[in-house]
Amino acid sequence: IIFWLCLFLVISLPILLSLRRGQASVSYAQSLVGAPETHLTTLDNGLRVASEETGHATCTVGLWISVGSRYESEKNNGAGFFLEHMAFKGTKKRPQTALEQQVESMGAHLSAYTSREHTAYYMKTLAKDLPKAVELLSEVVQSCSLNEAEIEQQRGVVLRELEEVESNLQDVCLDLLHATAFQGTPLSQSVLGPSKNARTLTRQDLVDYINSHYKATRMVLTAAGGVNHEELVGLAKSHFSGLSFEYEGDAIPLLSPCRFTGSEIRMRDDALPLAHVAIAVEGASAASPDIVPLMVANSIIGSFDLTYGGGKHLSSRLARLAVEEKLCHSFQAFHSSYSDTGLLGIHFVADKHYIEDMMHWSQNAWMNLCTTVTESDVARGKNALKASLVGQLNGTTPICDDIGRHILNYGRRIPLAEWDARIDAVTPKMVRDICSKYIYDKCPAVAAVGPVEQLPDYNRMRSAMYWLSITIILCSLHSIYECIYNFILMHH
């Protein structure tokens, strides 16, 4: 009996497992169509409430606000970042100790971040604690105590953070890139602000900042996970219906246009072991129809780090060159998009002896996008971009962040199925045309930190954008001529 039972299991188990896999397997397209819907409701005061129910036992809920360092002046630059530190130091109802105990007793995680155009306060907690989480968030945003003694204490914390950020050369380099690319405009300001402002910001400065920008029409209450949309709307009405939507004297703060300037900034320090260099041209805004082809183009260039496996077999041409010629320690193609402009660029970390070569091949990669990008390049870029978009949404917190930013940028949540369709519609000709529009013969912005003596002269980098494209076109014509010549020879 045991023998026949074992024989039956050996024969039937693979069949049963294959059937189970067949039932459980879902294609990529089916998974996109079956993604949970994002529900959106607008309250009477203009506050938008958005949620995605995923059935998780946990949830993330938060407020995303359309305000950041771009809305600040030279005098109060850094106010938003300072407020981020003050947010969890007590409210008018709860002192800091009581607030922290309440969050700890829920086993929750309370956090915040500030960027150039957005600010977010959010909490990850068990789904059953959603009502308490919304209540605490409403207190943090609407009735922060802003105690004078606590402001002085946090002033020291902010100054220490500013010192720590100076050791992160990538952040320093990208901040310098914004400073030179958008010089003379609010978008040039860093999120953290200068140390001078951290020392001089007063309680009244923070109160004025809240009164000017924390309006219901510029906020989105977002939740993802085990949440019910109707319950979330009810909680929003209970805790945020009194949130102001009016501006004093109807003085609605409007963003001034940010002008891009082709220019460079260098911070030379030969004592540093490696150079951080970033080169960028003006990119597309978040809502521009050009954004998807540019995202595909960035995926074609890709990224590289010395820790990557694959070596010279990496799919990105620039990555293969980086390995074979030992051009750099790492590089990353990026596209920072804002409400009306953007930065399309490449950041790399290299030894001082390879800066010039890496800059040449980075610009060459751009010119290839404008002139010789192929069907296989675009197919690879599309697949990499799709994988990146899906991979980013690996939990309730990134989903919640995605919903909040989308509604502030686009007025709605763009589903993955729509992103997928827009990516599929990109063709090689579209990539070439749109990259030529943004890259070809444009003056770049360049920022460099470290031992950057070997960085080429700015005018040389600027003219290289033009001459590289001419060279690539001539090489392409030469290849076409050779093909025609060989074809004629074969037929004679």
CA 447 → CA 266, 282, 337, 345, 417, distances in Å? 6, 14, 18, 11, 37
The first and second tokens of residue 331, run together, are 């590089």
Please give the backbone phi and psi of residue 369, each rounded to the nearest 5 degrees, phi first.
-60, -35
Burial class (CB in 10 A: 0-12, 13-18, 19+), 473: middle
The first and second tokens of residue 174, run together, are 């990208």
Sequential DSSP letters for 430-452: HHHHHHHHHTTTPPPEEEEEES-
| CA neighbours closer than 13 Å in the CB half-sphere of residue 220 | 28
Low-confidence residues in the chain, pLDDT < 70: 1-26, 249-253, 465-492
The whole-number pLDDT of residue 140 equals 92
Give the domain ranges of the chain.
Answer: 38-241, 264-490
The first and second tokens of residue 469, run together, are 């494209």
Note the Cα 179 to chain centre separation in Å. Answer: 18
The first and second tokens of residue 257, run together, are 């246009």
CB neighbour list of residue 140: distance below 8 Å, 6 or more residues apart:
87, 88, 91, 99, 110, 121
The whole-number pLDDT of residue 23 equals 46
End-to-end CA distance of the chain: 78
Which of 146, 131, 147, 310 minimizes the C-alpha distance to 223?
131
The CATH class given to the 264-490 domain equals alpha beta
pTM of the predicted protein model? 0.88
Note the Cα 175 to chain centre separation in Å. Answer: 15
The whole-number pLDDT of residue 16 equals 46
Cα gap 439→418, rounded to integer Å: 27
User: Is 38-241 a domain of CATH 3.40.50.150?
Assistant: no
Domains 38-241 and 264-490 in one fold: yes
> Is position 325 annotated as part of the catalytic site?
no
Cα gap 366→343, rounded to integer Å: 14
The whole-number pLDDT of residue 393 equals 87
Which position has the token pair 């595909």?
Answer: 296
The whole-number pLDDT of residue 253 equals 67
Of these residues, 52, 53, 72, 84, which one is catalytic? 84
Which of 359, 367, 344, 195 minimizes the C-alpha distance to 276?
359
| CA neighbours closer than 13 Å in the CB half-sphere of residue 70 | 22
